[in-house]
Structure 1
Amino acid sequence: MRTMRRRGAVAVLAASVLALTACGGDAEEPTEEPGAGEETTDAGGEEGAAEFAEGSTMAELSEAGSITIGTKFDQPLFGLVGPNGEPEGFDVEIGKIIAGELGIEEDGITWVETISQNRESFIETDQVDLVIATYTINDDRKERIDFAGPYYEAGQSILTLADNEDIQGPDDLAGKKVCTVSGSTPEANLLENFPEAEVVPFQAYSDCLTPLRNGQVDAVSTDNVILAGFAAESDDLEVRGEPFTEEPYGIGLAKGDDEFRDWVNDVLEEIFEDGRWTDAWESTAGTVLPTPEPPAVDRY
């Protein structure tokens, strides 16, 4: 991670424009390079690479050749630590694409585990440059951090044991013990909209699986894509019913860094169009789930 974070863009004006004089004494028109009037940094130092305003977050990361990204380590399909010790999944692939657009190689990415309870604090204290971690955009979180995106639209659903057909939707949760994650959007939704359910909070969604199997809880509730990942790995688990909320996943970054947010949004829109987003999906979550249309970026 870069050693100094600057919030927002810092455009450096050139002191002067040199007038060129022809060898024969005839004055030539002043010439300007693309982006004149602003000092720039080449991403990765490669010919034809993107140029970033000096002092911007993009320039600092590109110059450092490294970036720190927070993601989940226990979410199949989106962010799960694989046999090689590195996280893999759709969120991870999106992070790699963004790093690549900065000229940062994959070995220049430091992955940090972020759970639902620490994502905002990790951004606020500069422990990460970005968080890409099944991170629902909502107004409460936007009071502390900013979001680029969304880059995917999920929805809250329910996971039960495959032989438990009593629960088919949220209306069946009354009087049931439902495991979810403390501090998460699904927990808040259950508490507000399904008060007759007994919410049992844990630190991570994967922590809910053993209590589900041993009968301590009746169901697990979070985003459908997370639950689908668990069900895909275990024949004894099944996702029930249709999603009953809308959960736009965004990329968390420092509040007030508007230029960085706009740039990440530009990257997202580019990969929606050129097929890289679809490729990332189909190589990860798309092995289990159908390929959706990418969402519209919200440039709030």
Structure 2
Amino acid sequence: MVAGFERLAMALLHTPSTGALARTGIRFTGTVAALLLAATIAGCGGQSAALPGGQSGTSAGGDSIEKVLAEAPIAAPNLISAGTTMATIKEKGVLTVGGTETAALFSLRDPLTGKLTGFDATLSQLLAKYITGKPETKLVQVTAQTRELLLQNRTVDTVFATYTITPARAEKISFAGPYYSSGTSILVKKNRTDIKQVTDLAGKSVATQANSTAAATLAKQVPDAKVLLLGSNDECVQAVRQGRAEAYVIDQAILVGDVARNPELKVVGNPFTTEPYGIGLPPGDAQFKTFVNDWLRSIVASGLWERTWKLTVGTAVEGAAPTPPQPGSVAGS
């Protein structure tokens, strides 16, 4: 039975590119099929299934998120000077993170444990431990419209939310990173064959998130598309499922997680932009930016970044982890 779902998943996800990860030669594995099977079983009982990046998941070699967090470093006292943002966070004992709880593979609320799981979620927990000594985070839900405001008024300490670095955004807030690179792609119902690339969206109804880089990309590359601007990833997915939109355009990394939760959908075509993800920080805080970039370099050098990737995004794809981009390597960082 699992083998049958495995073949189904591969059929659903068979596209010329398997996403932002295609540039690294990575392909989907039968793990996604297992997710579809789990989702089907859970759906029969009216409950949600756990998705990849689970807090208690283990790799074939016995690695786990728990081990990654247990082995994660804590900053030396001399790196957290009095009066700095780091000192304020350490005194609070928790890192307040702007993010989401609905992005499979990146930041998803596990319905069984209530914990946030995924690549972004785990990285935020690693940073929390580095500052406070404990991987404790407090999630504040953000959207593409609210991220900058919440950083500007310091409602959140950081934003981990598949947050593309752009020069325009960097005029409003600061970015550490980039720490990952994705690319814009297209989500459609699995039975559609007329949409394979961005030019096929001309004249069609296309959902995307308001204030996302994808909205600007659509305006530039397919100006005659009928763009439906919505507030969240879930709203855009529902628009496609319900037929209110013929396609959804956003970062491929997000769409991969959407397919894992919605097997009647598929990702098509090659990514047609490059989206370097950064860690959003309050504006004008050079010390905090340097601190977070140094932490990011340290988890890459120690292998914690790679292990986190393998236990989250890597549960749905096969192949070696991609090489993380260098902090400060893109405009706006």
| TM-score for both structures, normalised by structure 1 | 0.81
Pair 1:293-2:320 in alignment = no
- How many pairs align? 254
Which amino acid is 2:302 matched to? D
User: Aligned match of 1:87 in 116, 121, 144?
Assistant: 116
CA contact (8 A) 1:50 1:102 kept: no
CA contact (8 A) 1:73 1:79 kept: yes
- 1:279 aligns to what? 307
Counterparts in 2 of 1:47 and 1:261: CA distance versus 1, 3 Å: closer
CA contact (8 A) 1:145 1:255 kept: yes
Q: Deviations over 1:58-85 (max 9, x none)?
A: 1222233222111122211111222133
State the superposition RMSD in angstroms.
1.7
* Structure that is richer in helix per residue: 2
What is the 5 A alignment of 1:7-156?
49-51=76-78, 52-83=80-111, 84-106=113-135, 108-156=136-184
Q: Deviations over 1:126-176 (max 9, x none)?
A: 110001111000011111100000000010000111110111110110111
85-94 vs 153-162, which moves further: 85-94
Identity rate, percent: 39
Gaps of at least 5 residues in structure 1 are 1-45
Which amino acid is 2:325 matched to? P
User: Aligned match of 2:253 in 217, 222, 225?
Assistant: 225
Q: Which structure's CA Rg is the greater one?
A: 1
Which amino acid is 1:98 matched to? L
Which amino acid is 1:293 matched to? T
Q: After the TM superposition, list the runs of 4 or more consecutive aligned residues in structure 1 that deviate by more than 3 angstroms.
A: 46-50
Work out the CA distance in 1 between the residues paired with 2:186 and 2:253.
Answer: 11
CA contact (8 A) 1:161 1:236 kept: yes
Superposition deviation, residue 47 in structure 1 = 10
Work out the CA distance in 2 between the residues paired with 1:63 and 1:209.
Answer: 40
Q: Report the 3-state secondary structure (helix = DSSP H, G, I; strand = E; otherwise coil) of the residue aligned with 1:201.
A: strand
Q: Deviations over 1:78-134 (max 9, x none)?
A: 11222133322111111011111113413x421111111100001111110001111
128-137 vs 81-90, which moves further: 81-90
Work out the CA distance in 2 between the residues paired with 1:131 and 1:213.
Answer: 29
Work out the CA distance in 2 between the residues paired with 1:168 and 1:76.
Answer: 23
Superposition deviation, residue 205 in structure 1 = 1.4
Q: Deviations over 1:216-237 (max 9, x none)?
A: 2111110001001111223211
User: Greater relative contact order: 1 or 2 (C-alpha under 8 angstroms, separation 6 or more)?
Assistant: 2
| TM-score for both structures, normalised by structure 2 | 0.73
Work out the CA distance in 2 between the residues paired with 1:59 and 1:159.
Answer: 43
What is the 5 A alignment of 1:157-236?
157-236=185-264
Q: Report the 3-state secondary structure (helix = DSSP H, G, I; strand = E; otherwise coil) of the residue aligned with 1:167.
A: coil
